[in-house]
Amino acid sequence: MHSRFATNGLSSYATARTIKPWQGGRIIPGRGTSDLHVGQSVNDIESVLGGPDEKRPLADQFFYVYRKQGIDVDFGASRQRVERLFFYDENVEGHSRRPTISIDGIGFRTPKTKVINVLGKPQCEGGPVRVANRKKTWIYYDSGLQFDFDSQDRVIIISVCDPKLNRSANES
């Protein structure tokens, strides 16, 4: 006995869902960008960025790492909602591409002096600290923005969080 499968309407190859690379955008302090922001769910992030290159638990946090897009997403201990977004310059912490983002003319490789001239004096500052084989410094604003700088004081990481989440940590 010979059986036949009904194949009407089926394609002969599997179609994978493709997501275009994220185009970037203007950073909104304490939020992120218009389509990638604090408070989004895991599904929301995957619909914008696709599946991560790596899912990384670290202490009480959980990260999606997008090396080819220059982005890390911190879901915090809840593992359900975005608590912080990290945008990396290329060749920083294993990221191969920088996203196209900016805030008031500040982007990657912007000098620290310009960041402070544009945004004012930060509420918190640290460094230099040694990370791998390089030194870096950082500044934090109560608006939920943090900038990390390389040894030449140029922006290499921009992170965004809801400022309400960091108030208790910064007040202690």
Mean pLDDT of the 102-130 span: 91
Asked if pLDDT for residue 82 goes beyond 60, the answer is yes
What pLDDT shows up at residue 134?
Answer: 65
Average pLDDT over residues 64-68: 94
Q: Residue 128, preceding bond cis, omega within 30 degrees?
A: yes
Question: Over 70: is that where the pLDDT of 172 sits?
Answer: no
| pLDDT digit string, tens, across residues 3-28 | 443 444 444 333 344 556 677 889 99
The mean per-residue pLDDT over the stretch 137-156 comes to 92
Task: Considering only residues 5 and 73, tell me which one the structure prediction assigns the higher pLDDT.
Answer: 73
Sheet holding 155-161, edge to edge: 54-58, 61-66, 71-74, 84-88, 155-161, 145-149, 134-141, 124-131
Options 3.30.300.30, 3.40.33.10, 3.90.226.10, 3.40.50.300; CATH of 27-171:
3.40.33.10
What are the two backbone dihedrals, phi and then psi, of residue 78, each rounded to the nearest 5 degrees? -70, -30
The domain locations on the chain are 27-171
Average model confidence (pLDDT) for the chain? 82
How sure is the predictor about 87, in pLDDT bands with cuts at 50, 70 and 90?
A: very high
The conformational region for residue 164 under phi > 0 = left, psi -120 to 50 = alpha, else beta, is alpha
CB-CB contact of 41 with 80 (8 Å)? yes
Mean pLDDT for 107-132 is: 89
Q: How sure is the predictor about 166, in pLDDT bands with cuts at 50, 70 and 90?
A: low
